[in-house]
A = this chain, B = another copy of it.
Amino acid sequence: MNPLKPKPGDALDTLSTPVPVIDEDVMAGNIARVQAYMDRHKIAFRPHIKTHKVVAIAEAQRAAGARGINCQKITEAEIFANAGFDDILITYNILGREKIARLAALNQRLSALKVTADSAVTVDGLAQAFSGSKPLTVLVECDTGGGRCGVQTPTDALALARQITRAEGLTFGGLMTYPKPKSAAAIESWFSEALSLLRAEGIPCPIVSNAGTPSLFEAHEVPSATEHRAGTYVYNDRSMVRAGHCTIDQCAMHILVTVVSCPTEDRAIIDAGSKTLTSDLLGFSDYGHILEYPDAVIRALSEEHGTVDLSRCSGPRPKIGDRLRIVPNHTCVVSNLFDEMIFHRVGRVTRIEPVAARGMVW
């Protein structure tokens, strides 16, 4: 918990820094804009809770029209199940006795729990555990170019779908990918080939799940997909601006920081380091975008200090005590560092929400 106890009604400029804050109206706009796009294209939309980890925001996404949510870990899914979410897709290979036991308990409570698998080893483990109990729905994860998890070919996807279909305790739920951004044609080609193979064997494939915020507005270019998953769109960040998904004004999260030192003319030190901004570069050469000084470069972070290079700033420069706003490179990882998230509208705190799933890596 934030021991400084911010409360609704507080003026933003009185909050002790460093602190991430969320603009209510920008966030609401992001939720509405993306849901409208999905509705227009008749794509089921499944927000990934990893970006916010906040129950109230998942509720707002559901109220806007989202169908189900996406979690990455069982412990996250448990938190959202406790809050009343039923249609939860855990996009992870679940292995190990303790995790599978928790998964079985969760499956008993929910009517639409789903997981993914990309290997015979994972499917075997699930099949053994669920044999004789309420069946678990398993989707096959497909590597359509993302280069992380996933079976490598449509033929491999068919083989794993077969194994799931034959396992007594499992139900084949469909195909899922975490794609390389901006690769709609490649994803579509991969999925349609896999779907042909499944059709030829008479294996029904209810869900084809595509994903990603950077390529979100190209979701309709993957007609084989029945649903799209995305997380970052709800807050947006510097990397989404670079990807062309949003403008800087559509970034709902700002990190409020204070200049604590100006040791030289060209160097300012801010009170946000890697414990606030994280070290995620995502291809950038510095650690965030300072709205008030767009030419300033956050060139280094230690845990509690950010070192800002001002040498490219032509106008006036920040002074000790100045408060600045930073658009972070990557918003999801910032959420994971704070127990509470502060929301605001026209300069005043509106609410403080627990980041309920912070730190849930299991």
Q: Which residues of A contact B (CB under 8 A)?
A: 2-4, 14, 16-19, 50, 72-73, 75, 78, 92-93, 95-99, 102, 118-119, 121-122, 125, 143, 147-152, 258, 260-264, 267, 269, 271-272, 274-276, 278-281, 300, 302-305, 307, 319-321, 332-333, 336-339, 359-362
Asked whether B262 lies within 8 Å of A119 as measured between CB atoms, the reply is: yes
18 contacts between A and B (CB under 8 A): A3-B78, A4-B75, A14-B97, A16-B362, A93-B260, A95-B258, A95-B320, A96-B321, A119-B261, A122-B261, A125-B321, A147-B267, A148-B263, A149-B260, A152-B263, A274-B333, A337-B361, A339-B359
The docked-state distance in angstroms from the alpha carbon of A119 to that of B357 is: 40
Q: Known contacts A75-B3, A280-B274, A303-B336: does B321 contact A121 (CB below 8 Å)?
A: yes
Asked whether B321 lies within 8 Å of A361 as measured between CB atoms, the reply is: no
Contacts of A102 on B, CB cut-off 8 Å? 4
Contacts of A260 on B, CB cut-off 8 Å? 92-93, 95, 122, 149
Asked whether A4 lies within 8 Å of B362 as measured between CB atoms, the reply is: yes
Which single member of B121, B150, B263 contacts A320 (CB below 8 Å)? B121
Asked whether A361 lies within 8 Å of B279 as measured between CB atoms, the reply is: no
Asked whether A279 lies within 8 Å of B276 as measured between CB atoms, the reply is: no
The docked-state distance in angstroms from the alpha carbon of A280 to that of B278 is: 8
Residue of chain B at shortest CB distance from A51: B303
Asked whether A72 lies within 8 Å of B304 as measured between CB atoms, the reply is: yes
Contacts of A95 on B, CB cut-off 8 Å? 258, 260, 320-321
The docked-state distance in angstroms from the alpha carbon of A336 to that of B337 is: 8
Contacts of A122 on B, CB cut-off 8 Å? 260-261, 320
The docked-state distance in angstroms from the alpha carbon of A102 to that of B3 is: 11
Contacts of A3 on B, CB cut-off 8 Å? 75, 78, 360, 362
Asked whether A4 lies within 8 Å of B338 as measured between CB atoms, the reply is: no
Residue of chain B at shortest CB distance from A122: B320
Asked whether B16 lies within 8 Å of A119 as measured between CB atoms, the reply is: no
Which single member of B150, B272, B333 contacts A303 (CB below 8 Å)? B333
- Output the least CB separation between A70 and chain B (Å): 12
Contacts of A72 on B, CB cut-off 8 Å? 303-304
The docked-state distance in angstroms from the alpha carbon of A121 to that of B269 is: 14
The docked-state distance in angstroms from the alpha carbon of A73 to that of B271 is: 10
The docked-state distance in angstroms from the alpha carbon of A269 to that of B18 is: 34
Contacts of A118 on B, CB cut-off 8 Å? 261, 263
Residue of chain B at shortest CB distance from A276: B361
Asked whether B362 lies within 8 Å of A151 as measured between CB atoms, the reply is: no
Q: Known contacts A121-B321, A362-B3: does B98 contact A261 (CB below 8 Å)?
A: no
Most B C-beta atoms less than 10 A away, residue of A4, A152, A281: A4
- Output the least CB separation between A300 and chain B (Å): 8
Asked whether B263 lies within 8 Å of A143 as measured between CB atoms, the reply is: yes
The docked-state distance in angstroms from the alpha carbon of A271 to that of B119 is: 15
Residue of chain B at shortest CB distance from A304: B72
Contacts of A98 on B, CB cut-off 8 Å? 4, 14, 16
- Output the least CB separation between A204 and chain B (Å): 25
Most B C-beta atoms less than 10 A away, residue of A19, A99, A102, A361: A361
The docked-state distance in angstroms from the alpha carbon of A319 to that of B339 is: 36
The docked-state distance in angstroms from the alpha carbon of A4 to that of B75 is: 9
Residue of chain B at shortest CB distance from A302: B148
- Output the least CB separation between A82 and chain B (Å): 11
